């Protein structure tokens, strides 16, 4: 199946596989492995660095394990995932803390949606890259 015009064809099965793996990784790390200390701490005005680094390190480590299990040559995507996740979550946390946003504010939910969209687009980009490498 051709996803992009031109030369680039992506095997649909490989794309679906990687989207399932990376979406599962995201749900595991962002919801099951993220403690309240991480979730609340990374959005705090002070003391946000340690919970943010722990949370993003979990994402990076699990992404690296996924790569080592299925595409060892792409182990470094765990580092890329760490950096992108850190940047997106810090932006959201900075805005939440600076503007004192809570779940009662529309902007809080808009920022959460933007944050999650960035994470899913990152996973989609990884999935396309990884699926394209399949002969």
Residues in contact with 67: Cβ distance below 8 Å, sequence separation at least 6, in sequence order: 74, 75, 76, 77, 78
Q: Which two tokens stand for residue 107?
A: 């902007």
Q: Which of 110, 108, 64 is nearest to 85 (CA)?
A: 64
pLDDT digits (tens, 9 = 90+) for 42-74: 999 999 999 999 999 999 999 999 999 999 999
Asked whether the predicted pLDDT for residue 1 surpasses 60, the reply is: no
User: Average pLDDT of 120-129?
Assistant: 97
* Contact criterion met (CB below 8 Å) for 63 and 78: yes
């Amino acid at each position: 199946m051709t996803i992009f015009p031109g030369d680039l064809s992506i095997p649909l099965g490989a794309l679906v596989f990687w989207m399932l793996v990376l979406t599962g990784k995201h749900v595991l790390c962002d919801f099951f492995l993220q403690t309240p200390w991480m979730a609340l701490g990374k959005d705090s005005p002070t003391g946000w660095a340690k919970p943010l680094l722990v949370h993003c390190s979990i994402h990076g480590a699990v992404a690296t394990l996924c790569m080592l299990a299925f595409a060892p040559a792409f182990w470094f995507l765990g580092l890329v995932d760490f950096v992108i996740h850190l940047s997106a979550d810090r932006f959201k946390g900075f805005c939440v803390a600076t503007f004192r946003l809570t779940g009662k504010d529309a902007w809080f939910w808009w920022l959460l949606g933007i944050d999650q969209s960035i994470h899913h687009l990152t996973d989609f980009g990884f999935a396309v890259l990884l699926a394209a490498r399949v002969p």
